[in-house]
Structure 1
Amino acid sequence: MDLQDQLKNLFPDHEPQAEEISQDKEGDIWLQDEPIICKYEKRKGKPTTILEGYNGADGDFKKLAKEIKTKLSVGGSFKNGQVIIQGDYRDKIMELLKKKGFSVKRVGG
């Protein structure tokens, strides 16, 4: 006997409502006209990819950073309006952003 059956036994007159279908995450992020700058740097001898130039809300940029980090399975952070990704993932990040509808400019190397 699962939870739904137990609830039906306790509340026989109750009819469950249909669950709302959530929208895709892609529709939540504001797209901009100017390109996002994707550059490569070495910090303390280790390669890093830095994204900057997003002029929307910081919350949207944080969501975008989290999505990039989870899709690439890498570490990173969001500081001072920049997304810092551990490793050189410029090509993969640019491909992901272009699929989302952003224009991206590659800088450095």
Structure 2
Amino acid sequence: MKNCLVVDDSKVIRKVARHILESLDLSVREAVDGQDALIQCEESSPDVVLLDWNMPVMSGMEFLQALSSARIETRPKVIFCTTENGIGHIKAAVEAGADEYVMKPFDRETLESKLAIVGVI
């Protein structure tokens, strides 16, 4: 079973994402910010990270930059999941290493299509 790490400071978003991802037969772990996510990735790298942009402690962009130099056997696919919808934000995320980008609020179909694009499902 493939696994996903949901990184968001909103408990509600994590819960909604978990429900959708589990319905797609993915195992789900949660992180409350980028630092928590980085620690979890170093302990056991997920297949995919669903990543919020704006978080305390370590933002999504800071997490992406740290991920590139982290000691991780296999780099996970990263899907930014955020309310930031400007073309500048999308371009910056892709240049920083994001594999896909999805806007909040998202639904099952949108998330499923993004997971298929990155090859997780």
Q: Write 1 or 2 for the structure with the bigger share of strand.
A: 1
Which gives a bigger RCO, structure 1 or 2 (Cα 8 Å, sep 6+)? Answer: 1
Q: Which has the higher helix share?
A: 2
Q: TM-score range by the shorter chain?
A: under 0.3
Q: TM-score, normalised by structure 2?
A: 0.25
Query: TM-score if structure 1 supplies the norm length?
Result: 0.27
